[in-house]
Amino acid sequence: MIRAANLGFPRIGRTRELKKATEAYWAGESDAGQLAQIARALRHQNWREQADAGLSVIPSNDFSFYDQVLDTTAMLGAVPPRFSGGAGAQAPGTVDLDTYFAMARGTDDAPAMEMTKWFDTNYHYIVPEFHRDQQFHLASTKPIDEFEEAKAAGVHTRPVLLGPVTYLALGKAKESDLEPQDLLERVLPVYEEVLKRLAAAGADWVQIDEPRLALDLTDAERASFPAAYKRLAAAGPKLMLATYFDGLRDNTELAAQLPVDGLHVDLVRAPDQLESVLQALPGETVLSLGLIDGRNVWRADLSGLLPVVEQAKRALGADRLELAPSCSLLHTPIDLEMEDQLDAELKSWLAFAKQKLHELSALATAGNHGRDAARQAFDAADQAIRARRDSARVRDPKVRARTAAITEADKQRHSAFHERRKKQQKHLQLPKFPTTTIGSFPQTREVRRARGQFRRGEIDARQYEDFLKTTTEQAVRLQEELGLDVLVHGEFERTDMVEYFGEQLEGFAFTRHAWVQSFGSRYVRPPIIYGDVSRPEAMTVKWSAYAQSLTDKPVKGMLTGPVTIQQWSFVRDDQPRRETCHQIALAIRDEVQDLENAGIRLIQIDEPALREGLPLRRADWEGYLRWAVDAFRIASAGVADETQIHTHMCYAEFNDIMAWIAAMDADVISIETSRSAMELLDGFVDFRYPNEIGPGVWDIHSPRVPSSAEMRDLLSKAANVIDADQLWVNPDCGLKTRGWPEVEASLKNLVTAAREMRRAA
């Protein structure tokens, strides 16, 4: 029989119960017992939900209080030394809850472990830290406990573990001569022990995630896989080796030859790999087909998928087949039924985690007994797919004609940078080391309260607007007093840099409950791009023009770029991302034009997500960068030479894509560098960045106020690798999470630092 299987279910709860419970615990408003109780209820509900949906394979240990990579660190006892001596009463050898949270969030004495993005998702994991003398031991029995817990509730589960090779690859060695894979022999005994204990508890199968297999591997990683799995295969339970986020490509043989009992492949990201996987799969190995999109919200085309199931069934037989989501459903919202404000038509095109379980179940039924056995589900899916394809809300001929007509000239500023620069200098009359900020000013409690009151109808549009005007004017006055050279309006009217634009664009839908975990207790609610994107009217001109009307200093217009708007949304699956991105780019281009017409002389188009959109495989980078950089150029190139285009990115790790960053041809780019004391600028030594650049001199991630001497020191360092003429002076990022007192003090020092640099120059 073909089995419907799941790889992981969202753990946050339908009404964000986990967030509320953990935050209450952190705030000391509840105790560990209460937190554990809520966690248990969430797990039970998820198991029930999956059993009720008819799934044959239900995961356990997919729950986490914070992050599954951190769970693995806890399981392996790999607690960095700075957390083990703390105040928490820690039983020898085990990682208690407070140590666990301390690693994620830091304490007064020990900074938190680093956090970074999980592959190409917007989920963030806690980066393991490894030392040369690193030891591992079983320090958390969570996988076994949760298996037992499910068993006691009458649900037989397949526990999920993060595999050793990927786990090590995700970590960072603290010494430069240590390669994480060197530690493989030391982690394997702990994995073996966990597997043995799971077997003893009654687990026949264990899902072991090795998404690294879908990436370009180092030689060390390539060697680790056979070494690891030879040992783990002997530990007891059968292993379902799960790969996802891309195809196996050149690692197909490697994966198929590992001594495991099952292999899961992502057929959403890489549908073409089915043939080669079927061919490479040996003897009795079970194949899990990742057919339902675990990264997006669209309803599956069941009729389109059934032939794939049938093909695999012909090749392997039903008993060797499982149908699954492409990856864990962690990356999708939980239940579409809760969306009471989406219109019925749009809703019929969507499927969230719960709905995806039913899709899997229907597909398995049809695979086993024919389409008629799951007729209702198939008919409904057919109808929805057809309706979506033919809907006038999805395709806008005017938009399509416009993207089709984009020319090379549309991507090209009138003159080259050195020409534009002369004109801009004349037009803007800025001093050397010009000072500015990245856009947002503190979103204080008052700002959020006024927005809430307006949304609830407690104040009217007029009152809200008056509030925003007053706040904006105060920000402008303060910037004048501080002596900043290029002002901003402060972005008080915006909640979020994507939502603000999405709400004003055609083709976007917003949900009320569709939260997805970003990290720890932080969840996001990405917009859904469902149709061709266009801009009915100007989106930002009013606020920029208002701010400019208050001052003679130039006010910089502030936009979010097309790549970022798309990257932080659920994207269309019915056309290439490039197409949607260029539609958004044209909308932003119109906005840029309107800002210019309204007298705005500098316009910043933020692209903080450009780098995270990079494909996982190096071979795909160029294809992506070409359309992504094009999108920025389409958005920005319509202006006169005199108008200065800025961009901002929240990082500076682009040594490997520097030429592409330069190809965006922004007149000025601001980036984050202060935390690394300008070390990130090393890339600028090898590649001379041609345009102007503002390396952040103030780490806005902490409330600390840097002195002007510190900032001057950073600027001098920057001036070693970048021409002083090219340098701008600004913070690392926007100031929306900061408070006014530290903003005022820091900006004062920032202006002083710039003035001293000018004097010394």
Binding site for ligand GLN (CB under 6 A): 438-440, 491, 497, 558, 606, 608, 648, 650, 733-734, 736
| 18 marked among binding-site residues | yes
Secondary structure of residue 670 in the 3-state scheme: strand
**Rounded distance, CA 483 to CA 43, Å?**
55
606 is in an annotated binding site: yes
Q: Helical H runs in 405-520? A: 417-428, 445-455, 461-482, 499-502
Q: Are 341 and 387 in contact (CB under 8 A)?
A: no
Q: Does 733 bind Zn ion (CB under 5 A)?
A: yes
Residue 262 interface partner, choices ligand GLN, Zn ion, none, CB cut-off 5-8 Å depending on type = none
Helix axes 142-152, 184-201, angle to 10 degrees: 20
Residue 440, binding choice from ligand GLN, Zn ion, none, Cβ under 5 to 8 Å by partner class? ligand GLN
Which residues lie below 8 Å from residue 3, measured CB to CB, with a gap of 6+?
56, 57, 321, 322, 323, 364
Listed residue (647, 589, 597) closest to 439, CA to CA? 647
Judged by beta carbon, residue 594 or residue 672, the one nearer ligand GLN is 672
701 part of the active site: yes
Tokens at residue 282, please? 């040996």
- 541-549 helix and 577-597 helix, angle to the nearest 10 degrees: 30
State how far the Cα of 429 lies from the Cα of 599, in Å rounded to an integer: 16
> What residue 241 binds from Zn ion, ligand GLN, none (CB within 5 to 8 A, per partner kind)?
none
Which of these ranges, 177-185, 589-597, 642-650, 722-730, lies near Zn ion under the rule CB under 5 A? 642-650
> Of 319, 285, 292, nearest to 306 (Cα)?
292
Is 491 among the annotated ligand-binding positions? Answer: yes
Count of chain residues binding Zn ion (CB under 5 A): 2
219 is in an annotated binding site: no
Binding residue per annotation — 16? yes
User: Given the complex with ligand GLN, which of 224 and 479 has the nearer CB atom?
Assistant: 479
Closer CB to ligand GLN, 49 or 672, in the complex = 672
| Secondary structure class of 483 (helix, strand, coil) | coil
- Which helix (H) or strand (E) segment holds residue 242: the answer is strand 238-242
Of 498, 503, 477, 486, nearest to 439 by C-alpha is: 486
Binding mask 650-669 for Zn ion (x = CB under 5 A): x-------------------
Residue 518 beta carbon to ligand GLN: minimum distance, rounded to whole angstroms: 13
Q: Which amino acid, one-letter code, is at 703?
A: P
Q: Which is nearer to Zn ion, 438 or 571 (CB)?
A: 438
Burial class of residue 105 (count of CB atoms within 10 Å of its CB; 0-12, 13-18, 19+): middle
246 binds, among ligand GLN, Zn ion, none (CB under 5 to 8 A by kind): none
Is 359 or 732 the residue whose CB approaches ligand GLN more closely? 732
The backbone region for 646, taken as left when phi is positive above 0, alpha when psi lies in -120 to 50, beta otherwise, is beta
Q: Binding partner of residue 497 among ligand GLN, Zn ion, none, CB under 5 to 8 Å per kind? A: ligand GLN
Active-site option among 137, 358, 414, 701? 701
Compute the distance between CA of residue 72 and CA of residue 90 in angstroms, rounded to an integer.
18
Q: Segment near Zn ion (CB under 5 A), from 10-18, 42-50, 392-400, 647-655?
A: 647-655
How many whole angstroms separate alpha carbon 571 and alpha carbon 609?
14
Is 646 known as a binding-site position? no
Annotated binding-site residue? 321: no
Instruction: Give the interface segment with Zn ion, choosing from 339-347, 394-402, 709-717, 726-734 (CB under 5 A).
Output: 726-734
Shortest Cβ 732–Zn ion spacing (Å):
7
Q: How far apart are CA 335 and CA 350, in angstroms?
A: 10
- Contacts to Zn ion from residues 101-120, by CB under 5 A: none
By beta carbon distance, the residue nearest ligand GLN is: 734
**Among residues 566 and 604, whose Cβ is nearest to Zn ion?**
604
Residue 162 binds which of Zn ion, ligand GLN, none (CB < 5-8 A, kind-dependent): none
Residue 736 interacts with, from ligand GLN, Zn ion, none (CB under 5-8 Å by kind): ligand GLN
Indicate which residues carry an active-site annotation.
701
Q: Which residues are annotated as a binding site for L-homocysteine?
A: 438-440, 491, 606
Q: Which residues are annotated as a binding site?
A: 16-19, 117, 438-440, 491, 568, 606, 612, 648, 650, 672, 733
Residue ranges binding Zn ion (CB under 5 A): 650, 733
